[in-house]
Amino acid sequence: MNVGVLLAAGASTRMGEPKAQVRWKGQSFLAHGVRALWSVCDVVIAVLGSQAALVRTGAEEEFERIVESGGLSEDLHAAQGHGARSLEVRFETNRAWKRGMFGSARVGLAAAVRTRPSAIFVLPVDHPEVKGATVASLGAVMSDALGSFGRTGWKDFSYALVPRHLGRRGHPLVLTPALAKAIAKDDDAADLGDAVRRHARLVGYLDVTDKGILVNRNTKKR
């Protein structure tokens, strides 16, 4: 089982509302992120912070509308393709969200590790243009990498997989549970990238055509 972590705690003063609630192509950034991660993840953990209760209520209502409209049929089909019986989103709150995204990553990774996943996918909510097909490709490559270790050898290996577009690294980041666990416990790293460098024994790269892995949306464009 793969688990996604969507980092959605920021206030985004430039947008005037939490980034998780900003809408693009008819859906919130949060919905776009969750649905992209569902391409390969059974469960997505959305880490909230600023106006957490409001964002959660809005997300739950939005997904209810999407379900009622039949808009999740493709998502469910994809889920069945990777063996999931259902699609699930869970919410965690980072009460220290003002200290930065790395704290939210640690909260999300700690929650993800408790589900005993095969791999963990980490995506910032302000990257709504990431394609589900890209996430699925990352999942396939990670699965192949883990398979090379045999049935249990991969569990102790600290490995990260990073997508690249035209030589530039982007999101989502894919982690083995061992690496995710080490990062979740790291009090000293400057940020998520620093934590990966401190703890990963190996970092792999997947070149993709999806420029959405690089697009950090900081303005409202519908």
Domain ranges of the chain: 2-214
Whole-structure pTM over 0.75, yes or no?
yes
Q: State the Cα–Cα distance between residues 87 and 33, nearest whole angstrom.
A: 14
What pLDDT is stored for residue 153 in this prediction? 63
Question: What pLDDT digit, counting tens, does each position of 102-144 carry?
Answer: 999 999 999 999 999 999 999 999 999 999 999 999 999 999 9
- CATH for the stretch 2-214: 3.90.550.10
Summarised one tens digit per residue, pLDDT across range 13-68 is 666 688 999 999 999 999 999 999 999 999 999 999 999 999 999 999 999 999 99
Give the tens place of pLDDT for each residue, 78-95. Answer: 778 777 777 899 999 999
